[in-house]
Amino acid sequence: MASPNDIMLMTCAAGNQAPYILPLLKDKIKLRLACQSDASAKLLKSRYPHAEVVQGDMRVLADCARMLSGVTTVYNIGPGIRVGEKEMGLNMVEAAIAEYQKPNSQFKHFVEASVLNTQIRKMFNHDDKRYVEEQLILSPLRYTILQPGDFFEAAVPVKQWLTMEHPVRPTYVPEETWSSFVALKDLGEAAAKVILERERHYEALYPLVSLNGNTYGECTTRIGEILGKKIEVKEVSWDEAIQVLLEVNFGSDQVHSVIYDKMAALVSFYRKRGIKGNPTVLEWLLERDATSLEGYVAYKKDELRAEGAVLPSWWS
């Protein structure tokens, strides 16, 4: 079990997962939050004043070693669709091994935030994660691997729709694409439990899915029914999808060829098929039912209320 004197490092801590994990860890374990940019560091210091914030480049082994120095646990989130994505993960494992082998080391647990279906080599970012998982399994470290499905928040962005007078879902994923989804709320609770309970989860690999057996179209239609508002679906072309995703994630579609190829492979895959998983493991971990579409809509409404957002006239 974790103690309040233990230190947990979270990498890529300015991303989507942190807001659903870190509040559950406050006062239960010391937090060290890692990021690369000055903007992310400023955001983290403002959002989590009780935490230590460190900057570093996971492509640099010495930076990984510095971030890991003295920690008990690492929750390793690897940046997706990046040049050197595999190498960043391997560096973190190598640096963690060195930290673990130091005299009087406090290092006890490497939690890898991976992806569902790393076996799918057609998606290069999944293949990168597969190498990291393999290296971790072969290492002397005590580890847990979490494999979340498609985030509800990315696949069906209810929070965005709730602020629109006429909700629209522009998408490169056909309505008939079948996939498995996870609510960030569920992922956050599962991750916090693994971090705090520690030993019970050594050498475990957990596929984490809140909802399976539904297509993107079915999810969109059902959410529209819950909201009492039709969600317009606007499918975009393959080329346009890649351009938009690159601009959203990198600020431009003029990127390194490796990044372009990774994004193109991801778009091509999801135009034909999705990833597949089952909620049973997640529900066992949480000791409750996984979040349904109704529950997902409800907690997104709660988030908007808490933020004091300006809401459209149709919203209730």
The more confident residue out of 310 and 215 is 215
Judged against a pLDDT cut of 90, whether residue 12 lies above it is answered with: yes
Within-domain flag for 126:
yes
Q: Is residue 237 part of a domain?
A: no
Alpha helices in the chain (DSSP H): 18-21, 38-47, 61-68, 85-100, 124-138, 152-155, 158-161, 184-197, 216-227, 238-250, 257-270, 280-286, 293-307
Nearest 5°: the CA angle 78, 241, 11 is: 10
Residue 75 lies in a domain: yes
**Secondary structure of 79-133 in the HEC alphabet?**
CCCCCCHHHHHHHHHHHHHHHHCCCCCCCCEEEEECCCCCCCCCCHHHHHHHHHH
Residue 158 counted as domain residue: no
Highest mean pLDDT among 4-13, 76-85, 121-130, 151-160: 4-13
Domain of residue 71 covers 7-149+182-209+277-290
3-class DSSP assignment, residue 145: strand
What was the pLDDT predicted at 134?
97
Residue 265's pLDDT is: 87
pLDDT of residue 109 exceeding 80, the answer is: yes
pLDDT reported for residue 98: 98
pLDDT at residue 129 in the model:
93
CATH number at residue 285: 3.40.50.720
User: What's the token pair of residue 90?
Assistant: 């391997």
pTM: 0.94
Q: Evaluate if residue 289 carries a pLDDT over 90.
A: yes
Nearest to 109 by CA among 35, 10, 187: 10
What are 127-169's pLDDT values in tens digits?
899 999 999 999 999 999 999 999 999 889 999 999 999 999 8
248 inside domain: no
Q: Distance between CA 31 and CA 27 in Å, rounded? A: 9
Residue 316's pLDDT is 62
Asked whether residue 111 is assigned to any structural domain, the reply reads yes
Query: How many structural domains is the chain composed of?
Result: 1
Check if the beta carbon of residue 273 is closer than 8 Å to that of residue 280. Answer: no
Q: What are phi and psi of 47, to 5 degrees?
A: -80, -35
Q: Which among 152-161, 196-205, 263-272 has the top mean pLDDT?
A: 196-205
pLDDT digits (tens, 9 = 90+) for 206-264: 999 999 989 999 999 999 999 999 999 998 888 888 888 888 777 777 778 888 888 88
- C-beta separation of 32 from 25 below 8 A: no
pLDDT of 287 > 70? The answer is yes
- Predicted confidence at residue 256, as pLDDT, reads 86
Smallest CA-to-CA distance from 242 within 252, 233, 232, 234 is with 252
Distance CA 157, CA 148 (A): 17
**What are the tokens at 219?**
């999810």
281 within a domain of the structure (yes/no): yes
| 202: exposed, middle or buried (Cβ count in 10 Å: 0-12, 13-18, 19+) | middle
Residue 130 lies in a domain: yes
15 class by beta-carbon count within 10 Å (0-12 exposed, 13-18 middle, 19+ buried): middle
Chain-wide mean pLDDT for the chain? 93
- Provide the residue type at 18 as one letter: A
Which range among 56-70, 75-89, 189-203, 208-222 shows the weakest confidence by mean pLDDT? 75-89
